[in-house]
Amino acid sequence: MRSSDSTSMHVFDAAIALDAGGGDSFLGNTHSAYGNMVGPFGGAIAATLLNAIMRHPQRLGEPLSHTVHFAAPIADGGFSVQTRVLRTNRSTQHWSVELVQDGAVAAFATSVTAVRRASWSALDAVFPEVPPASSIAPAPPIPRAAWTARYEMRFIDGAPGAPGTQSDSSQSRMWIRDTPQRSLDYLSLAALCDAFYPRIFVRRPQWVPIGTVSLTTYFHADATQLAAQGSAPLLGVARALRFGNGFFDQAAEMWSERGELLATSQQVVYFKE
Amino acid sequence: MRSSDSTSMHVFDAAIALDAGGGDSFLGNTHSAYGNMVGPFGGAIAATLLNAIMRHPQRLGEPLSHTVHFAAPIADGGFSVQTRVLRTNRSTQHWSVELVQDGAVAAFATSVTAVRRASWSALDAVFPEVPPASSIAPAPPIPRAAWTARYEMRFIDGAPGAPGTQSDSSQSRMWIRDTPQRSLDYLSLAALCDAFYPRIFVRRPQWVPIGTVSLTTYFHADATQLAAQGSAPLLGVARALRFGNGFFDQAAEMWSERGELLATSQQVVYFKE
């Protein structure tokens, strides 16, 4: 029996759970609660790869950056995760993590963990003026994408459009948190950064196959800010800058209700014309 | 004698040149023309690592994304570059590249190359209204950072401030191109994305040690757009979103004069208080 099968565990923790696989290896499984239309929700995979680093006994500090490549479709089922410390400095550490399924690399990550220390600080990004989460009804999940039922999403604007509508902007703003509620940590924040509907469905509401190719998240929040967040909703803002030649980008900001920028994230996404 | 020592070669090509090292390996050298205050200019290293992919006989398509980790200081001198194809799909290919110096990984990259094909396209980012490059005088290079003499930078706003001044914004906009002029390709574009002065020196003009930790660039331009660019100036826009706990981020957009978004780039940077 896997140690991660405890029934008292939050379903997100069950979905990203890893068993020791010997040395720098871990063993994981996709989880049906975080399934996507095909295979698992990428945010859950991003968090699983980060979890391998979080569990590693040699880890220095907390996550600072996390780049995930979705190299091939991940099948529902088991996989192994292989971690490697590429370099350890005084206050930063560089990691490589590979997810192997059926003998081939299906996803991989490169990450930085860092020891944060107090410093001069400044915020250049502007916290959007938006109505409070409590004033907006949660959007219904999408039945074909199980993972959408695992997040409470309250759209301020840029909800995925009805077929036939066309928007001049790919921007979405929403209040979002885990369902059921769960205290924020780096793992859930890594997944939340990928919990935006693909921008092409906002800009041009017409279903086409899409897939994230590469995703990079920078964690701005320190442990104190994360602890203060608890299970309160985060304000997520996502937009694309350019669509073309079968790919588009997506940039996201994750804010606390108090106007702290907790994380920023970018991804490049394939789409089939 | 290295094949890259030809005197007719542009100094940028000499700086990022690689010799075959057998199999998936290459051999390179830092170049004094692209030196920084300490060690080489990060943009030249980013381009060198991409060059290993460009030279690889198994490469599929052109660069789509390029993430570089600056894991440790790189000393002036020689290094080896080891490439690995992690996955080849029908239209995308995932790469790992490691720069090894004195037996340890000093920098590494994960990248995606892709076969681009015509598709629906849209631009969501807004091309800034700025005066033409010809109306602005180039800024003088910084003597202590040799690489700054290798770029013609014409600042519209956000030039690094004089000590003691303080700006409410970390944004810079500049027209930039290689010196001497060189036709744009993915390699020089990769370096240009890192050719912004660190945002902290715009926001708080006081010298402190800084170093890029990780850098991710998405290439939006296809080969036709790059060829049309030639050696014309690019409009570069860079800003930070958040400074704190000894790190800040930096986001950049690179535009053609015709308003095409050629690349977007993000980095997370260490700074010493």
A108, B94: Cβ pair inside 8 Å? yes
A65, B123: Cβ pair inside 8 Å? no
The pLDDT value recorded for residue B8 is 86
B116, A270: Cβ pair inside 8 Å? no
Cα B273 to Cα B267: distance, rounded to the nearest angstrom: 19
Residue numbers in B near A239 (CB within 8 A)? 124
B64, A266: Cβ pair inside 8 Å? no
3 state SS for chain B: CCHHHCCCCCHHHHHCCCEEEECCEEEEECCHHHECCCCECHHHHHHHHHHHHHCCCCCCCEEEEEEEEECCCCCCCEEEEEEEEEEECCCEEEEEEEEEECCEEEEEEEEEEECCCCCCCEECCCCCCCCCHHHCCCCCCCCCCHHHHHEEEEEEECCCCCCCCCCCCCCEEEEEEECCCCCCCHHHHHHHCCCCCCHHHHHCCCCCCEEEEEEEEEECCCHHHHHHHCCCCEEEEEECCEEECCEEEEEEEEECCCCCEEEEEEEEEEECC
Contact of A93 with A60, CB cutoff 8 Å: yes
Contact of A45 with A38, CB cutoff 8 Å: no
B72, A65: Cβ pair inside 8 Å? no
DSSP three-state, residue A136: coil
The pLDDT value recorded for residue A7 is 65
Q: pLDDT digit string (tens) for B222-231?
A: 999 999 999 9
Q: Where are the alpha helices (DSSP H) in chain A?
A: 11-15, 42-54, 186-192, 199-203, 223-229
CA A176 to chain centre: 12
Residue numbers in B near A249 (CB within 8 A)? 218, 220, 264
The pLDDT value recorded for residue A165 is 67
A169, B96: Cβ pair inside 8 Å? no
The β-bridge partners of A197 are none
The pLDDT value recorded for residue A248 is 97
What is the sign, positive or negative, of the torsion defined by CA atoms of B67, B73, B75, B76? Answer: positive
Nearest Cβ partner of A124 from B218, B242, B273? B242
Residue numbers in B near A242 (CB within 8 A)? 121-125, 220, 261, 264
pLDDT for residue B3 is more than 50 = no
Provide the chain A residues 187-246 that lie in CB contact (below 8 A) with chain B: 199, 203-204, 213-214, 216, 218, 220, 222, 239-246
Provide the chain A residues 149-168 that lie in CB contact (below 8 A) with chain B: none
The β-bridge partners of B99 are B81, B107
Residue among A187, A237, A242, A41 nearest B264 (CA): A242
Nearest-Cα residue of chain B relative to residue A170: B124
The β-bridge partners of B33 are none
Distance (Å) from the alpha carbon of A121 to chain B's nearest alpha carbon? 4
Cα B122 to Cα A257: distance, rounded to the nearest angstrom: 32
Residue among B84, B94, B96, B74 nearest B28 (CA): B74
Tokens of A237: 């803002």
Contact of A113 with A62, CB cutoff 8 Å: yes
Residue among A171, A161, A252, A174 nearest A204 (CA): A161
Nearest-Cα residue of chain B relative to residue A171: B124
Distance (Å) from the alpha carbon of A267 to chain B's nearest alpha carbon? 9
What's the ipTM? Answer: 0.95
Distance (Å) from the alpha carbon of B134 to chain A's nearest alpha carbon? 27
The residue of B62, B65, B186, B249 whose CB has the most chain A CBs within 10 angstroms, and thus the best one to mutate to test that interface, is B65
Nearest-Cα residue of chain B relative to residue A238: B124
Nearest Cβ partner of B122 from A112, A203, A246? A203
pLDDT for residue B38 is more than 70 = yes
User: Cis peptide before B180, with omega less than 30 degrees from 0?
Assistant: yes
Residue among B168, B156, B174, B236 nearest B202 (CA): B168
A122, B64: Cβ pair inside 8 Å? no
pLDDT tens across the length of chain A (273 residues) = 344 455 689 999 999 999 999 999 999 999 999 999 989 999 999 999 999 999 999 999 999 999 999 999 999 999 999 999 999 999 999 999 999 999 999 999 999 999 999 999 999 999 999 999 999 999 999 999 999 999 999 999 998 766 666 778 899 999 999 999 999 999 999 999 999 999 999 988 888 999 999 999 999 999 999 999 999 999 999 999 999 999 999 999 999 999 999 999 999 999 998
The alpha carbons of chain B give a radius of gyration, in whole angstroms, of 18
Convert A14-31 to b/e letters by CB count within 10 Å (16 or more is b). bbbbbeeeeeebbebbbb
Q: What is this structure's pTM?
A: 0.96
The residue of B84, B225, B226, B242 whose CB has the most chain A CBs within 10 angstroms, and thus the best one to mutate to test that interface, is B242
Residue numbers in A near B193 (CB within 8 A)? none
Residue B7 confidence class, pLDDT cut points 50, 70, 90: low
B112, A213: Cβ pair inside 8 Å? yes
User: Touching check for B90 and chain A: CB below 8 Å?
Assistant: no
Distance (Å) from the alpha carbon of B170 to chain A's nearest alpha carbon? 7
Residue numbers in B near A220 (CB within 8 A)? 241-242, 244, 247, 249
Neighbours of A87 (CB within 10 A): 18
pLDDT for residue B221 is more than 70 = yes
Cα B134-B137-B142 angle, rounded to 5 deg: 135
